């Protein structure tokens, strides 16, 4: 565990709601936003008020409810957007899909940087590792800070639940493979910060999650 601990904030935003996260370095005051779910301008202002600068916008996947604030956040901060290549086609229709749910969201541009398993993204002096965790959505990735025991896993694993796989492009087999081979091997104390609902830990889910029995 590194001496420097990040600032982590969970912000449930939008109609579902969906968790957006701030992951910030206390030393350099750089911050990443993971999944700008909604209200991108307010999110940007909030980070500024905290005294941080957004230097990276990270997408776990491109379901509309995770990118509803992306255009505004990008406009307000100019920070590069990171996503997996397989998540791009769905990102390109996020606005259309939102409309099917009766919601208006600005159509995002393609990401600035494509990520793959094993990439390391610096946030000031902090490090986030990219884990490829498909199943819930094409190109779903998780962002893992091994030095801080924090995992941002989008819609892969939730407290006592797992991601839905009844949408187009989903695969239950892939989801279970991602959970068993990428997430469950992480240390028990790893804090799991999911796209919806409360935080949990890898150890708690290994013991209690009914979908993993």
Chain residues that interact with Zn ion, rule: CB under 5 A: 63, 155, 195
Nearest distance from C-beta of residue 96 to Zn ion, angstroms: 16
Asked if 139 and 88 touch (Cβ cutoff 8 Å), the reply is: yes
Of 134, 135, 17, 9, give the one whose Cα is nearest residue 65: 17
Nearer Cβ to Zn ion (156/202) = 156
Nearest distance from C-beta of residue 60 to Zn ion, angstroms: 8
Nearest distance from C-beta of residue 91 to Zn ion, angstroms: 12
Q: Taking the alpha carbons of 9, 120, 130, 204 in that order, is the dihedral positive or negative? A: negative
Nearest distance from C-beta of residue 174 to Zn ion, angstroms: 14
Nearest distance from C-beta of residue 37 to Zn ion, angstroms: 8
Nearer Cβ to Zn ion (98/124) = 98
Integer Cα distance of 12 and 91 in angstroms: 21
Which CA distances in Å does 42 have to 74, 75, 77, 210? Answer: 12, 12, 12, 37
**Parallel, antiparallel, or unpaired for β 141-145 and 150-154?**
antiparallel
Nearer Cβ to Zn ion (14/124) = 14
Nearest distance from C-beta of residue 44 to Zn ion, angstroms: 21
Backbone angles phi, psi at 69, to 5 degrees: -105, 10
Length of the chain: 213
Nearer Cβ to Zn ion (63/84) = 63
Nearer Cβ to Zn ion (63/182) = 63
* CA 114 to the chain's CA centroid: 15
Residue nearest to Zn ion (CB): 63
Nearer Cβ to Zn ion (134/195) = 195
SS3 25: coil
């Amino acid at each position: 565990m590194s001496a420097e601990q990040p600032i982590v904030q969970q912000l449930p935003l939008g109609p579902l709601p969906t968790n957006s996260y701030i992951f910030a370095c206390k030393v350099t005051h750089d911050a990443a936003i993971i999944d700008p779910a909604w209200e991108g301008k307010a999110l940007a202002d909030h980070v500024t008020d905290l005294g941080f600068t957004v230097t990276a916008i990270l997408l776990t996947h491109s379901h509309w409810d995770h990118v509803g604030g992306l255009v505004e956040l990008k406009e307000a901060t100019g920070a590069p957007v990171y996503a997996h290549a397989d998540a791009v086609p769905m990102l390109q229709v996020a606005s259309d899909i939102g409309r099917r749910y009766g919601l208006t969201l600005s159509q995002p541009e393609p990401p600035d940087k494509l990520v793959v398993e094993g990439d390391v993204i610096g946030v000031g002096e902090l490090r986030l590792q990219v884990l490829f965790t498909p199943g819930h959505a094409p190109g779903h990735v998780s962002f893992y800070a091994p030095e801080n025991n924090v995992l941002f896993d989008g819609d892969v694993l939730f407290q006592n639940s797992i991601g839905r796989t009844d949408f187009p492009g989903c695969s239950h087999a892939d989801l279970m493979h991602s959970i068993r081979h990428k997430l469950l091997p992480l240390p028990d104390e790893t804090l799991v910060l999911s796209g919806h609902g409360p935080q949990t830990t890898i150890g708690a889910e290994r013991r209690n999650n009914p979908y993993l029995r």
